[in-house]
Structure 1
């Protein structure tokens, strides 16, 4: 037997062991094949399954060195590196894959995600469009492209709406008609990408868990696993809980019909793991989108309503929507703060003298127009003022350097800036102790970030934009009773930020009482929100059920 045949046989044996679930034995056999490229490539994938990302990256690098002409090997390496937040090296790996296989649609898509994480959203848009050009039925790329449009200052609400409508036409439809049911407690289906502490959990849980069980029964259809306290609390109020990750859209729609769901609510939109194909099959007589994870309409004829409020979707000047707005009287969502939030820290200005302005939004939201506005603010701010920016992408040194260069173009010097990388959630909340005033971004404003800033005592200055995604902060601030932090234009944005820091003792008083005000406001009143949600759902039923 030749050496190459022996290597191939041993690789096949290792693969069989892995398929049988004997992963430690498979990994041991692969390690005995050191220097054989496919063995390193397969070992890397097994290490990823075992959550040893660092070890996996080491094996991916070896595989790429040994098999430099294999596009898939570079693609796998890029994926692992991206998960480890090594964005520059990940981008390089994806580009190596594409240089070997230019028609590799999945590599174009992943490259787009990697560029977006670095804040390079225009380049990301081009990569997503290339993926769709090569593979028009690539649904994940469609959703990624649509999500990315919300980061682009050049993308109008109308253009985003038209893109959503165009994508919606490609879903499979059903000829089956779902009939309204007799009077009984309404069965509410919740179609989720996941059910955990994330935007969906933080913004939907409080309202759902306070619904009257005598009037509403909750049926959850959850696409991805992973369970935490949020999932456990939601399960405790659920009449049924279905894990649907392994089921086809048709099978999920069949289950929803069998359960007799009256109102089906999509909680995912175009976020990762969504099941909009189920909504397209119209398995419930009334269907609603609730933007607690994806902040816009869906453009689908099968979705009848969108839950929103009069700040996010002003009746006098509504954004383009195919859904009928169901207006909630306060904010579109209800925030459930974490149980273990650290205490509010003293105002930094009282110790350091000069103010610190901060941002904790994703880097993709910090476009050149936002940075230019911050440059104008810093030029007028007191001497010694600082800009604190947190984003997990700053774990990559090349991303940090590029961002500092972008700030320098706006006359914000590196010695005026503090960059913070990825943090555990409690450490992230504690980091607001470094900031006096939080600066919102546009055209996609903060949501959870805004609420966490308020929870930690930091006022937020926002400049609303025409889309729903551009008005979350304005919605929350209005419900909090702080319309004075909502700017009319860029000049007013600067003026409001400077006015807040002009009186440190007044700002310290605001900081000390802001958490209590937030918790007492409609933004965090789950019982009151649930009553409003009940009325909205019954109103939708009367209109369409």
Structure 2
């Protein structure tokens, strides 16, 4: 080859590079081929021929050209890297690894080669080597999206989710419009039970890649965990539409429909999905324990109670606890098992609660026999009384409003308080408790892992403020994690659990025969049994006038769960006889719409125009909501399960609340508050008495104003310490001393 040929080859090479940069691969290839003929010793020509072949998908030819280049220039790290890419795409991963390692031997900081080496190791199922390769790449370029994303995904797939999340967040920051980066981050956060944080990323993934079913599946699950059932159902239906084989989304759709009150469709979906053996027990339990949120009639309430009892019978009869596989399936079922909505049926549910508790006890005795007794005695350590608190609602929430001050009042000189918080949100309320505690653990890990943590603390007493609201707390409550185990009344019904020793209730709430309603030993703390937080002062509630239509407006503050079918006609009679409008703060959801249709039918049956006699009010910030309560003519309480926090809201604003003479604590909350304030005339004996009292009060402004003045004068008693903090501390002292004997 003469000098002229070499020069001509260079010219062809330069023209080819220009064409390749312009995206004209075929034209570039022609120039490179001419250059190779003119100067076959030019290594760059063979490298670029290999790149063209690689881009066109001719992998074998690409590898051949790269090898030719390396014979001419064995120090070309880039060529080794490209050879490795071609070999990897052909599935020749062992050879690809050798090529990438050769590239890195020449250029240690070659991030792309290290990244590609990681991909090959992943393909060979050698995750440890893949991780090392990705970390090598990141040492050279900490913000290389491909390496950051690959390492984050690898850690996520290998169950190292907590380590994966920071990398997945960085990948998303580097490419915020990347659907996969958003979606995998959402999935990882979900696995850590951080559904609130995951929402933004799942929404982005479903928007960027709307035809990818798994992003809709993640979004649907997040919405369900946030109790946003309408969008959850829509997202899960979309996921199934895109991927009809997605059995997990079918299960989640069944759960979402059940929580939304669409129990018939939910049961059908859950039972149909039971062909999946691993999930069959969980789905069977869920289908048998489902209860509606809104009932069409009292007859339906009775039918559902019978169905629930039969469901418990079936679960008990088919419960298999003999093999490790059966135990694991049952444990999976127990973690989601709940009959939370049973409490909102205006019936004596004690027998059903006992039966449910016995089922959980039986399952957990087999699953975790080593956690059925303590191997230490209360107070054996000789120091302060060790008290544990397990709660998911230590943020601004009704549970926190009720019990935070009671828990904070435990004297740190006497009590060493340890908290396990299962919520995602942390706010001022959470931080107050965390600052006061000897230890504060925010965890959403497996319940048995939490149980082991709690036992390792060797507590003297363990308190559950709201057991019954989260299925995992019933699971924990069935175990013996402390010598003394007690519950507060955040969900005011018995657990039915053998290992729950005490139910700490309120003397003002309980009837004379109250012990009959609890498997636990009932402890009546003074007054309300706690020290609730006083609501803020109400703002002007003038906005309510627009919804009154010139008529008196009464408000029913409870959500749809507490609004029983028989109460509809009572309210219709009040409206008919008084001319008042009845207002509800009901969100525009499918389940709320079912309640709306039911009550509108009841009002129409009494000859009323629902559009004139009913008012459905928008959600407002708390102070505006309180303003409406203060401005309303009268507050109408529900039978069976009365107002708790809502009645505290009303009384703090001076609003009279007409309530019922309840038979169990959950139906006597407002009644107890009125008794503590010394306010008479607002407790009805029966339906007729309720209607008569409501009509009389609506028509008697002077009487209402007198009641307002009396309530404002005496409502402080509801929020002041009347000895309850001392009684709570004394209970913990006495109970742990007795347990230590």
Q: What's the TM-score bracket when you normalise by the shorter of the two chains?
A: 0.7 to 0.9
C-alpha spacing 1:95/1:469, structure 2 compared with 1 (3 Å): farther
C-alpha spacing 1:316/1:405, structure 2 compared with 1 (3 Å): closer
Report the counterpart of residue 180 of structure 1 in structure 2: 378
SS class of match (1:326)? strand
Higher percent of residues as helix:
2
SS class of match (1:410)? helix
Report the counterpart of residue 425 of structure 1 in structure 2: 622
Give yes or no for contact 1:91–1:115 (8 Å, CA) kept in 2: no
Give yes or no for contact 1:310–1:327 (8 Å, CA) kept in 2: yes
Report the counterpart of residue 409 of structure 1 in structure 2: 601
Matches within 5 A, 1:533-544: 533-544=728-739
Among candidates 256, 262, 279, match of residue 477 of structure 2: 279
Q: Which has the larger radius of gyration?
A: 2
Report the counterpart of residue 342 of structure 1 in structure 2: 538
* Mapped pair 1:379 → 2:525: no
Distance in 2 (CA, whole Å) between partners of 1:369 and 1:204 is 32
Report the counterpart of residue 226 of structure 1 in structure 2: 425
Distance in 2 (CA, whole Å) between partners of 1:240 and 1:83 is 27
Task: List per-residue Cα deviations over 1:85-123 (Å, max 9, x = no partner).
Answer: 875454355466679467843332222223389943689
Give yes or no for contact 2:533–2:719 (8 Å, CA) kept in 1: yes
Distance in 2 (CA, whole Å) between partners of 1:512 and 1:525 is 19
* Mapped pair 1:202 → 2:401: yes
The TM-score normalised by the length of structure 1 is 0.80
Task: List per-residue Cα deviations over 1:284-334 (Å, max 9, x = no partner).
Answer: 21111111x222111111111110134544243544321000111322332
Report the counterpart of residue 148 of structure 1 in structure 2: 341
Matches within 5 A, 1:43-442: 56-57=202-203, 60=206, 66=211, 75-79=217-221, 87-88=229-230, 90-94=232-236, 100=244, 104-115=250-261, 119-120=293-294, 137-143=332-338, 146-153=339-346, 156-171=349-364, 172-173=368-369, 174=371, 175-182=373-380, 184-246=383-445, 248-272=446-470, 274-291=472-489, 293-316=490-513, 318-338=515-535, 340-342=536-538, 354-381=551-578, 383=579, 385-391=580-586, 393-394=587-588, 396=589, 401-411=593-603, 412=608, 413-442=610-639
Q: Where do 5+ consecutive residues of structure 1 fail to align? A: none
Distance in 2 (CA, whole Å) between partners of 1:15 and 1:441 is 56
SS class of match (1:66)? coil
* Mapped pair 1:493 → 2:690: yes
SS class of match (1:511)? helix
Q: CA deviation at 1:422?
A: 3.0
Give yes or no for contact 2:532–2:719 (8 Å, CA) kept in 1: yes
Q: CA deviation at 1:160?
A: 3.1
Q: CA deviation at 1:451?
A: 0.9
The TM-score normalised by the length of structure 2 is 0.61
SS class of match (1:160)? helix
Q: Where do 5+ consecutive residues of structure 2 fail to align? A: 1-56, 59-88, 90-118, 124-144, 154-163, 263-290, 320-328
C-alpha spacing 1:225/1:88, structure 2 compared with 1 (3 Å): closer
* Mapped pair 1:479 → 2:683: no
Distance in 1 (CA, whole Å) between partners of 2:392 and 2:419 is 11
Give yes or no for contact 1:454–1:514 (8 Å, CA) kept in 2: yes
Report the counterpart of residue 21 of structure 1 in structure 2: 167
Distance in 2 (CA, whole Å) between partners of 1:541 and 1:281 is 18
C-alpha spacing 1:219/1:43, structure 2 compared with 1 (3 Å): closer
**Relative contact order, CA 8 A, sep 6+: which one is greater?**
1
Aligned residues: 521
C-alpha spacing 1:353/1:440, structure 2 compared with 1 (3 Å): same
Bigger drift between 360-369 and 173-182 goes to 173-182
